[in-house]
Structure 1
Amino acid sequence: MIGYEIFVRSFADSNDDGIGDFKGIAQKVDYFKMLGVDLIWLTPHFKSPSYHGYDIIDYFDTNVSFGTLADFRDMVDKLHANGIKIVIDLPFNHVSDRHPWFKAAMNGEKPYVDYFLWAQPHFNLKEKRHWDEELLWHTRNGKTYYGVFGGSSPDLNYENPEVVQKSLEIVEFWLKQGVDGFRFDAAKHIYDYDIKEGKFRYDHEKNVAYWQLVMDRARQIKGEDVFAVTEVWDDPEIVDRYAKTIGCSFNFYFTEAIRESMQHGAVYKIVDCFQRTLTKKPYLPSNFTGNHDMHRLAQLLPHEEQRKVFFGLLMTTPGVPFIYYGDELGMKGQYDSTFTEDVIEPFPWYASLSGEGQAFWKAVRFNRAFTGASVEEHLNREDSLLKEVINWTKFRKENDWLTNAWVEHVTHNTFTIAYTVTDGDNGFRVYVNIAGHHETFEGVSLKAYEVKVL
Structure 2
Amino acid sequence: MKKTSYFIWLCVVAGSLFCCKQSEKEVQIQKAKEPINWNNEVIYHVMQRSFYDSNGDLHGDLNGFVEKLDYLKQLGVTTILFTPLYESDFYHNYFPTNYYNIDPEYGSKEDYINFVKAVHEKGLKFLMDMETQYAQEGNIWFDDSYKNPTSKYSDFIYYTDSLNQYPEQIFLPARSPLFNFKAWPGESHHIVILDLNQAPVKNWMKEFYLYWVDPNKDGNFDDGVDGFRIDHIMDDLDYKGIITSMYADFWNPIFTACKEVNPNIFVLGEPANWGKYGADMVTRSGADASFNFPLKFALSSKKASQDMFEK
Correspondence 1:105-120 to 2 at 5 A: 105-106=145-146, 107-120=148-161
Range moving further from structure 2, 64-73 or 172-181 = 172-181
Q: Which runs of 4+ in 1 moved over 2 A?
A: 107-111, 133-140, 189-193, 201-209, 233-238
Q: 1:240 aligns with which of 273, 276, 279?
A: 279
Match of 1:172, SS state, is helix
Q: Work out whether residues 44 and 89 of structure 1, in 8 Å CA contact, stay in contact via their aligned partners in 2.
A: yes
Please state how far the C-alpha of 1:204 moved relative to its aligned partner.
Answer: 6.0
Please state how far the C-alpha of 1:67 moved relative to its aligned partner. Answer: 0.4
Aligned partner of 1:166 in structure 2 is: 204
- Counterpart AA for 2:52: A
| Aligned pairs for 1:153-232 within 5 A | 153-177=191-215, 178-188=224-234, 191-192=237-238, 200-201=240-241, 205-222=245-262, 224-232=263-271
Using the alignment, how far apart are the partners of 1:10 and 1:188 within structure 2? 28
The 5 A counterparts of 1:391-402 are none
Structure 1 residues 292-328: Cα deviation after superposition (integer angstroms, max 9, x where no partner): xxxxxxxxxxxxxx7xxxxxxxxxxxxxxxxxxxxxx
Please tell me the residue identity of whatever aligns with 1:220: E
One-letter code aligned to 2:144:
A
Answer 1 or 2: which has greater helix percent: 2
Find the aligned partners of 2:257 and 2:106 in 1 and give their Cα distance.
28
- Cα offset, 1:18, TM superposition: 1.0
Alignment of 1:43-62 (within 5 A): 43-62=83-102
Identity within the alignment, %: 24
Does 2:289 match 1:251? Answer: no
Tell me if structure 1 keeps the 8 A contact 2:61–2:107. Answer: yes
Query: Displacement of 1:237 after TM fit?
Result: 5.7
Cα distance, 1:235 vs structure 2: 6.3
1:8-27 correspondence to structure 2 within 5 Å = 8-27=48-67
Q: Please give the alpha-carbon distance, in whole angstroms, between the structure 2 residues aligned to 1:54 and 1:64.
A: 15
Under a length normalisation based on structure 1, what TM-score does the superposition of the two structures give? 0.51
CA distance in 1, matches of 2:60, 2:236: 30
Alignment CA distance shift 1:99-1:109 (3 Å): farther
| TM-score where L is the length of structure 2 | 0.72
- What is the SS of the residue equivalent to 2:192? coil
The question of whether the paired residues in 1 share the 8 Å contact of 2:271 and 2:278 is answered with yes
- For residues 174 and 128 of structure 1, the distance between their equivalents in structure 2, rounded to whole angstroms, comes to 27
User: Does 2:42 align with 1:2?
Assistant: yes
Q: Is the 8 A contact 1:93 1:189 kept in 2?
A: no
What letter corresponds to residue 36 of structure 1 in structure 2?
G
Provide, for residues 5-51 of structure 1, a one-character-per-residue CA deviation record: whole Å limited to 9, x for no partner.
11111111001111100000111112211111111111111111221
TM-superposed CA distance for 1:82, in Å, is 1.0
Aligned residues: 250
Deviation of 1:191 after TM superposition, in Å, equals 3.8
1:374-413 aligned within 5 A: none
Unaligned runs of 5+ in 2: 1-40, 182-187, 216-223
Measured in 1, the distance between the counterparts of 2:116 and 2:195 equals 32
Q: Secondary structure at the match of 1:37?
A: coil
Query: Does the aligned pair in 1 maintain the 2:158–2:193 contact within 8 Å?
Result: yes
Aligned-pair CA distance for 1:137: 4.5
SS at match of 2:114: helix
Aligned in 2, Cα 1:239/1:102: closer, same or farther, shift over 3 Å?
same
* Compared CA separation, residues 27 and 128, structure 1 to 2 (3 A): closer
User: What CA distance in whole angstroms lies between the structure 2 residues aligned with 1:71 and 1:180?
Assistant: 17
1:235–1:94 distance in 2 versus 1, CA, 3 Å: closer
Answer yes or no: is the 8 Å Cα contact 2:234–2:247 preserved in 1.
Answer: yes
Please give the residue correspondences for 1:68-107 in structure 2 after superposition, counting only pairs within 5 Å. 68-106=108-146, 107=148
Q: What per-residue deviation string (whole Å, max 9, x for no partner) do you get for residues 217-241 of structure 1?
A: 111221x210110010336666111
RMSD of the alignment, in Å? Answer: 2.9
